[in-house]
Amino acid sequence: MLPSELNCSFYGFNHPLEEAELLILGIPYYEKAYGGKPSIPPTSFLRILSRYVEDNYVDGDGYYSSLKIRDIGDLQSSDEEDIELDIASITRFIEKTKKKLLMIGGSHMYTYYMVKSLRPHIMIVFDAHLDLKRRLMGHEFNHATYLRRIIEEKHVDKILVIGSRAYEEEEVDYGFDKKIFRINELSGVREWIMELDTEDSKVYISIDLDHLDPSHMPHVTNPEPLGLHPWETFKILSYIRETSLEVIGGDVVEYSPYTLEVYPGVLASRICLELARTILKT
């Protein structure tokens, strides 16, 4: 048994587990997060609103219903040590069965556990923040420090951060020293991604929804103005699909609904679906 529980499937995906190529896993909101807190369970609301998305790909080249996906539900524990063990257990399962995994909903700090288990060569991160703080409010491990921990423990070789616009000087200095690439212009992203397209490069894609402008995505933990337009996000994902890079997993995180407004959740769902097809290279 996988350490998760399913009450409502994302987009109705219920492909038989043994035949599914991609598994969707809901992760919890981090109760100690600093920023806006959801008033509605994020993964549950996201699954409900995913049903509003029409079947066609954004570029019209196919249909989401053709994807072999299984939603395996949410992690049930809120204890950090248990969550790390549960994610490690699930990643062992997907590696053994040659499947891929997409996490949705909760805190960006859980990306650390996924990357630690999957060990990609490259991370492509969409985020308004660098998440390279040494500590935040006295804590060394949270959603604002997770990427620094990944670097310190040498879990990846290269990192590209897209959309960062809120950070401290110390984070910029640390990122420059560790050769963290930051790009905000769409024209530069495609060139950088094409340069990554080398043999046997395994990629993990992490999408913090606050990389989008709050006019499109207000339901995040820490919104920042002057973000990307959704079409830019979809275009960047299409660049990745043009390469031969092996995308071994990904996540769409920091969804924090504080009202019953439908649009942000539908957009978040569409991003989850576009990332799913990018992982599966369809």
pLDDT per position as a tens digit, 29-77: 766 656 667 788 899 999 999 999 999 999 999 999 999 999 999 998 7
Whether the model clears a pTM of 0.75, i.e. scores above it, the answer is: yes
pLDDT of residue 138: 60
Positions in the chain whose pLDDT score sits under 70: 1, 30-36, 137-138, 199
pLDDT of residue 177: 82
Mean pLDDT of the chain: 90
Supply the CATH number for residue 46's domain.
3.40.800.10
- CA dist 117 and 92 (Å) reads 8
Domain count, the chain: 1
pLDDT of residue 1: 63
Cα distances from 83 to residues 110, 217, 241, in angstroms, run 8, 27, 31
pLDDT of residue 103: 96
Burial-class residue 179 by CB neighbours within 10 Å (0-12, 13-18, 19+): exposed
How do 69-75 and 4-5 pair as beta strands?
Answer: antiparallel
- CA dist 16 and 100 (Å) reads 14
**Tokens read off for 92:** 């062992």
How do 202-208 and 246-253 pair as beta strands?
Answer: parallel
The residue assigned the tokens 């997409």 is: 102
Residue 216 structural domain: 4-279
Give the strands of the sheet with 100-104, arranged side by side: 4-5, 69-75, 22-26, 100-104, 246-253, 202-208, 122-126, 158-162, 181-183
Q: Which residues contact 234 (CB under 8 A, 6 or more apart)?
A: 58, 59, 271, 274
pLDDT of residue 186: 72
